């Protein structure tokens, strides 16, 4: 079998019929035009072999490959165009093994073999092994290098986390989708990413990954799990290949290999069965909401694009349920499961306004990783887990709001009282200013009143004097 891949052959669709005619001419040894050549060409060269300016030629022997290349050379030369052999690759298989015994040429230039010159297409490397083992190791190395570059950027930790979410993750997701990578390998990559995120956000190494990626916890960060994106992208790939409008793609039986720990096809089937079951159950009310308060998308009436998004959302929901199931097993960092409080979603705009120590304290307090006496004793740093003020067990809840001695001494109100004291001082100053102004105003009013009375008395006296003198 011989396969040739060429890139940048402009005007491909305009020349397809002519190329096929030349192929028929050399292959059948006849100069008569075949009336059904167009239909035969569609069977010979499916749509997947000619895309935009790329052309892939696959034949059963290297002789047939030379025939097609000669036909391509004649037609392209007639069109005053030229191939670029350095951007093309050839691969010849003989009895299942790659051989370099035969060479293929186009327009007098030799086409490089894939043995010595691997080629990259749409971000994926193709080599003579026809496997992704070396590429997977390269991806793991690239992730470590990317994280090191971000870590050495000198930016605050929250900005590094933003770079991961909006820069590194999108590039990594594409690589996870195009390569045959197992879920175990992706979990190892995510552990490396988690260690950097913990350091950037100022939380200890024992901080659970649930606190970084959970969408239903009491404190939700705007970060996305690499493993979750891997599962969603693989599921999307399965549905794209299975539901393709091209029958040659949908019936090709292409398998998306993800290892034995997790199967993309099984996950898609389970998500579709759940959505079918929701159609049977129908619209359900939650809390005090009435009928029609929420929109319910039915699986049976959804378009292919809507079905794909519904399956992806369902896979994310299943992943979140697994996180909650794991959080139940955590006695300390999963204590928030028992809280009856409203959820808080942290946005990037809120993170920009927060100081690094405040972000760190907020995460540690929710997931009980603050250096309380109880935690320090469990970590082996101190001998007694008791509170130094009252002698009771110094848990996080006790230190923050449960110590009676601290409550009596007013330590819990210290920050609040400081703010009130500052406000009281300002109010007292303003009150004195107002009272002083009132006193001055009252004095000025009284003096004006006295002057007015004196003028009135003087006027009355002078008028009486004139009246007496007149008489």
Tokens of residue 33, six digits: 């035009």
CB 267, CB 192: distance < 8 Å: no
Indicate whether 224 and 323 sit together in one domain.
yes
Q: Which helix (H) or strand (E) holds 277?
A: helix 264-281
330, two tokens: 């955590």
- At 402 the three-state DSSP class reads coil
Reported as a pLDDT band with limits 50, 70 and 90, residue 350 is very high
Residue 230 has pLDDT above 90, yes or no: yes
**Is the alpha carbon torsion for 164, 170, 175, 180 positive or negative?**
positive
Q: Is residue 31 part of a domain?
A: yes
Place of tokens 């913990």: 198
In a domain, 77, yes or no: yes
pLDDT at 145: 96
How long, in residues, is the chain? 471
**Site of tokens 């052999």:** 85
Structural domain contains residue 312:
yes
| Residue that finishes a domain, picked among 402, 423, 444 | 423
**Token output for 376:** 């320090």
Q: Which two tokens stand for residue 128?
A: 């003579």
Alpha-carbon Rg for the chain, nearest whole angstrom, is 39
pLDDT tier at 186 (50, 70, 90 boundaries)? Answer: very high
C-beta separation of 8 from 88 below 8 A: no
Q: Say how many domains are in the chain.
A: 3
Question: Residues 40, 161: one domain?
Answer: no
Categorize the per-residue pLDDT at 17 as very low, low, confident or very high, splitting at 50, 70 and 90.
very low
pLDDT digits (tens, 9 = 90+) for 402-443: 888 888 888 888 888 888 988 999 998 888 888 777 777 776
Helix (H) or strand (E) holding 87: none
177 and 43 housed in the same domain: no
Tell me, yes or no, whether 203 and 314 share the same domain: yes
Q: Which two tokens stand for residue 47?
A: 């749509």
Per-residue pLDDT reduced to its tens digit, 380-391: 888 888 888 888
The average confidence (pLDDT) of the chain is: 83
Domain limits for position 258: 134-282+301-328
Structure confidence at residue 359 as a pLDDT band (50, 70, 90): very high
């Amino acid at each position: 079998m011989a396969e040739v891949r060429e890139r940048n052959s402009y005007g491909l669709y305009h020349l397809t019929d002519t190329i096929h005619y030349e192929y028929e001419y050399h292959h059948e040894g006849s100069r008569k035009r075949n009336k059904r050549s167009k239909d035969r060409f569609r069977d010979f060269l499916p749509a997947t072999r000619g895309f935009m300016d790329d052309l892939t030629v696959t034949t059963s022997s290297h002789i047939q490959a030379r025939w097609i290349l000669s036909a391509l050379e004649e037609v392209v030369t007639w069109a005053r165009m030229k191939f670029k052999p350095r951007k093309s690759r050839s691969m010849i298989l003989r009895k299942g093994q790659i051989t370099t015994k035969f060479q293929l040429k186009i327009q007098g230039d030799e086409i490089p073999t894939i043995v010595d010159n691997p080629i990259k297409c749409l971000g994926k490397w193709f080599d003579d092994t026809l496997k992704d083992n070396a590429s997977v190791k390269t991806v793991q190395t690239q992730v470590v290098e990317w994280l090191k570059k971000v870590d050495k950027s000198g930016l605050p930790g929250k900005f590094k986390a933003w770079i991961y979410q909006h820069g590194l993750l999108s590039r990594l997701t594409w690589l996870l989708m195009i390569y045959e990578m197992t879920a175990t390998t992706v979990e190892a990559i995510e552990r490396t990413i988690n260690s950097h995120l913990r350091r950037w956000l100022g939380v200890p190494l024992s901080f659970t990954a649930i606190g970084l990626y959970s969408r239903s916890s009491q404190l939700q960060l705007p970060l996305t799990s690499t493993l979750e994106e891997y599962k969603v992208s693989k599921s999307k790939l399965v549905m794209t290949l299975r539901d393709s409008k091209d029958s040659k793609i949908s019936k090709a039986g292409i398998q998306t290999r993800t290892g034995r720990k997790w199967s993309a096809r099984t996950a898609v089937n389970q998500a579709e069965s759940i959505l079918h079951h929701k159609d049977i159950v129908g619209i359900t009310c939650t809390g005090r909401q009435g009928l029609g308060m929420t929109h319910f998308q039915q699986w049976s009436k959804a378009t292919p694009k809507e079905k794909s998004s519904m399956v992806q959302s369902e896979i994310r929901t299943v992943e979140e349920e697994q996180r909650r199931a794991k959080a139940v097993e955590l006695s300390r960092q999963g204590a928030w499961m028992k809280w009856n409080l409203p959820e808080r979603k942290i946005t990037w705009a809120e993170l920009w306004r927060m100081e690094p120590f405040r972000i760190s304290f907020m995460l540690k307090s929710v997931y009980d990783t603050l250096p309380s006496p109880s935690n320090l004793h469990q970590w082996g740093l101190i001998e007694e887990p008791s509170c130094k003020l009252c002698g009771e067990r110094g848990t996080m809840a006790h230190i923050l709001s449960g110590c009676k001695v601290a409550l009596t001494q007013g330590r819990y109100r210290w920050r609040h009282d400081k703010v009130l004291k500052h406000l009281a001082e300002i109010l007292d100053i303003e009150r004195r200013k107002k009272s002083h102004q009132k006193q001055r105003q009252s004095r000025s009013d009284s003096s004006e009143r006295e002057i007015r009375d004196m003028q009135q008395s003087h006027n009355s006296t002078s008028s009486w004097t004139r009246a007496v003198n007149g008489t």
